[in-house]
Structure 1
């Protein structure tokens, strides 16, 4: 979560995925698993927590819009790219489906190309549907 009001700071999704993959690879190297490597991309929070998160995210989106208007009123030029909405990362959203597919691709590529990953069972849990257990 950004802690400042700099509306210029944005990160392309591909760069986010690359950072996630680098971190997963770093963790794999630190753990040095020989049999099983389990990853959970996200978990579904209880309904009350989801409602609280959604409320906070909507408030943050409103604040981001206000910051954008304020920045533009000062005559500053902002990037034309679409502003990220953190509701985008909720379970069952296209973003999480894409992340899940990208993680699966990353794991398969590592198992195929990296000798350190070979022979290790990799289990990837990623919820693609919003539901409660």
Structure 2
């Protein structure tokens, strides 16, 4: 299998484990679904197959989103931020994105903003 395109690999800024965070959004609504991690091979597979593929830090192995759950992510676009240290993966999500069964991993808790922050515009 060919490696990740060298022009893309050169632009990536990886952490000490060789990973880049991937923010995953629903392509049409821009709803933030989850955060995952990619190494070069996961990114190569994602770009090649159109199926979101990540590196599982807990299992120390590659995983294709939805391979066991059926909650697949069909990739529409992948973007690299200006510093090369974060990926944005725009997907069409089938079913819930979160392992808890929620649509998004960011539904559970909103953290309170303190009085000093002003809480932003009302």
| Alignment TM-score, normalising by the size of structure 1 | 0.25
Q: Which has the higher helix share?
A: 1
Compare CA radii of gyration and give the structure with the larger one.
Answer: 1
The structure, 1 or 2, with the larger RCO (C-alpha pairs under 8 Å, 6+ apart) is 1
Q: Which has the higher strand share?
A: 2
| Alignment TM-score, normalising by the size of structure 2 | 0.26
